[in-house]
Structure 1
Amino acid sequence: MKKILFICFLALGSLAQAQIQTPAASPHGTLSQTVGLTEVSIDYSRPNMRGREIFGELLPYGTIWRTGANATTKFTVDKPVKISGKELAAGTYSIYSVPGEDMWEIVFYTDHSNPLITEFDDSKVALRTMVEPIDMPMTMETFTIVIDEVMADSAVLSFLWENTIVPVKFEVMTDAEVMRNIDTALSGPSAGDYYNAAVYYLNSGKDISKSKEWMNKAMSMTDTPRFWQLRQQSLILAKAGDKKAAIEAAKASLAGAKEAGNADYIKMNTDSLKEWGAL
């Protein structure tokens, strides 16, 4: 009995000890910024100098650094960007750096599973660029990443620590995206716009003649209507009183559903065709 009580006491002591929280030596940090129409985010850990000499000592020149502490620093963009004239696709990357006295190498790496590496696998290097560091007139105790000089088409990703700034300018494709949006808006509604409006009118019990008009417009703009689109067209035509056209659309939808192996649409079309006297 005493032995059991002693084990329970140890377990409770361990549990209490596990509940004690202490601050991380290199606290976690995040940063997000909209640049033009592109969302950029950074996820990293922030070591402190703690009286140490950093570049050339704690981090010897010419060695690969994870550009932070703990896990690798993550750089995420939701649209392609350009760095030094080279395109970096949308996605998440680890940022590695190789500090140097005169130039730094910055590497965007496709493997962001926190690998500790001593050399780069070229197949995982998405983009690399050389950057000239800048001396700061003050000391930055905590490693800091900022995105500044934010313009409509560019910004600067900067790494600051000790008395050094490493600025990496990147460009976003704002103008090209805006021009595409303008062209799309000025060219009028798309097939999808007409289709969504027609289905909304059907489901909301609104003007069925207008729904039929929009659906016919959507189908005329669609090279190969899919079986679910034809299904909605058949329902609109039937509700508009055009049973013959509704049956034709339902038969086409049924054929497409059978080809796709979609049991739900096979049943729905079969039931409708029976109801409309076509089977």
Structure 2
Amino acid sequence: MKTLKLFTLCIAIFGLTVAAFAQNDLNLPDVSQAAEVKQRIALTDITITYHRPLVNGRKIWGALVPYGKVWRAGANENTTIEFSDPVSVEGQQLAKGIYGLHMIPNPDSWTVIFSKTNTAWGSYSYKQDEDALRVNVKPRALAEMKEALEFEFEDLKPESTAVVLKWEKLGVPFSVSIKDSDQTLQNIRAQLKGRGQFTWQALDEGAQFCLTRKINLDEALRWADASVQNEERFDNLSTKADILKALNRPDEAKAAWSHALEIATAVQLYSYGRRLQGEKRGADAMEIFQAVAKRFPQTVYGHLAEARIKSAAGDFAGAAAEATEAQNATPTDAQKQSIKALIDRLQSKQDINK
């Protein structure tokens, strides 16, 4: 009995000792500090969480990080990479999710591994049968020394980017791309099942997205019609006209455009002309400016439209005079300054449409 009591007392003391030690654990800085980088491509988020070891005068490649062996691509816990939507990595499909990111370095070629296990400590428990994807990439020399390991996003485009691990004097890039149009269309459809279906703006934006990319035009026309039904505006009528034109339905496009012109304000028409210029549709833009000048003479936008028409014709003096009239007519200092910049260009005989 005494032996049992003594054993129980020892266990209790041991438990208290362990608890005391546990309570005294300190939250101290990591030698390899934690970091996170994030990049959005269209509607897809890419997030990399990792630790940043230092070179600290050591030989890295083929020494601290051996060739031919799986490496954690960082320090401490798993380096992880998260994709909020399905992506392509080096042209190969990868589902959305959080992956453990590992690499196998070699002098001329690296293997980048996306593991289904993302909670491991380093690469010690890595198993190849848990791979979601492997891709081979080429390392490249860096122009500058990177003392601390880092991940960066380079060559950013609307539907792709390059993820680059950089450490010491070496960079290891791999490409990530998405199907922007498909994903965005799904997102638009989902939003238009909610409150967006009751506003003219959301439906018009969805139609504009398709029109700009020349995709899904039949559905875009339905969205444009629904937008007009919610509230008839120059914006959605002009969208509808452009979609009908893209669908090769010229008579309907002309009717929609005529109605859009009837209800357009000066600023709406002028802004539409500027948008056409941004889309490299200069001839169409000039037709709009002519309509503005005809319908809204002696107004700020009427004079600005005339200035652009005359500038395109090489009449810089006449264009400068029209721009000066516009400057005198505008009520705001900000717009006066903006127009002054146009006048300065015209006085230097520069075409303000370019």
2:117, 2:155 → 1: CA distance? 28
Match of 1:43 in 2: 49
> Out of 52, 63, 71, which is 2:77 matched to?
71
Structure 1 stretches lacking a partner, 5+ long: 1-10, 197-279
Residues 64, 119 of structure 1: 8 Å contact kept: no
Match of 2:91 in 1: 85
Residues 63, 118 of structure 1: 8 Å contact kept: no
Residues 33, 39 of structure 1: 8 Å contact kept: yes
Residues 44, 85 of structure 2: 8 Å contact kept: yes
1:136 partnered with 2:138 = no
What's the CA shift for 1:115?
4.8
Match of 1:154 in 2: 160
2:34, 2:122 → 1: CA distance? 18
1:20, 1:189 → 2: CA distance? 51
Deviations 1:149-193, CA, capped at 9 Å, x for gaps: 2211001110000100001111012121234456x38xx965x77
1:117, 1:67 → 2: CA distance? 9
Change (3 A) 1:70 1:153: same
What's the CA shift for 1:23?
2.6
Map 1:56-67 to 2 at 5 A. 56-67=62-73
Map 1:104-119 to 2 at 5 A. 104-117=110-123
**Cα RMSD after superposing both structures:** 3.1
Match of 2:127 in 1: 121
Q: Which has the higher helix share?
A: 2
2:158, 2:36 → 1: CA distance? 22
Residues 75, 122 of structure 2: 8 Å contact kept: no
Could you say what secondary structure the match of 2:72 adopts?
coil
Could you say what secondary structure the match of 1:123 adopts?
helix
Could you say what secondary structure the match of 2:182 adopts?
helix
Task: Select between 162-171 and 146-155 the one with higher mean Cα deviation.
Answer: 146-155
Structure with bigger RCO (C-alpha 8 Å, 6+ apart): 1
Could you say what secondary structure the match of 2:129 adopts?
helix
What's the CA shift for 1:53?
0.7
Match of 2:323 in 1: none
Deviations 1:113-164, CA, capped at 9 Å, x for gaps: 2155468634311111011000012210000011222211001110000100
Residues 36, 151 of structure 1: 8 Å contact kept: no
Match of 2:295 in 1: none
TM norm structure 1:
0.58
1:166 partnered with 2:196 = no
> Out of 26, 31, 43, which is 1:25 matched to?
31
Q: Which has the higher strand share?
A: 1
1:110, 1:20 → 2: CA distance? 32
What's the CA shift for 1:37?
1.0
Structure 1 stretches of at least 4 aligned residues deviating more than 6 Å after TM superposition? none
Q: Which amino acid aligns with 1:32?
A: K
Change (3 A) 1:64 1:189: closer
1:60, 1:45 → 2: CA distance? 18
1:133, 1:81 → 2: CA distance? 22
Residues 147, 167 of structure 2: 8 Å contact kept: yes
2:50, 2:125 → 1: CA distance? 21
User: Percent identity at matched positions?
Assistant: 28
Q: Which amino acid aligns with 1:129?
A: V
Match of 1:254 in 2: none
Deviations 1:206-242, CA, capped at 9 Å, x for gaps: xxxxxxxxxxxxxxxxxxxxxxxxxxxxxxxxxxxxx
2:26, 2:122 → 1: CA distance? 29
Q: Which amino acid aligns with 1:64?
A: V
2:122, 2:150 → 1: CA distance? 21
1:126, 1:44 → 2: CA distance? 19
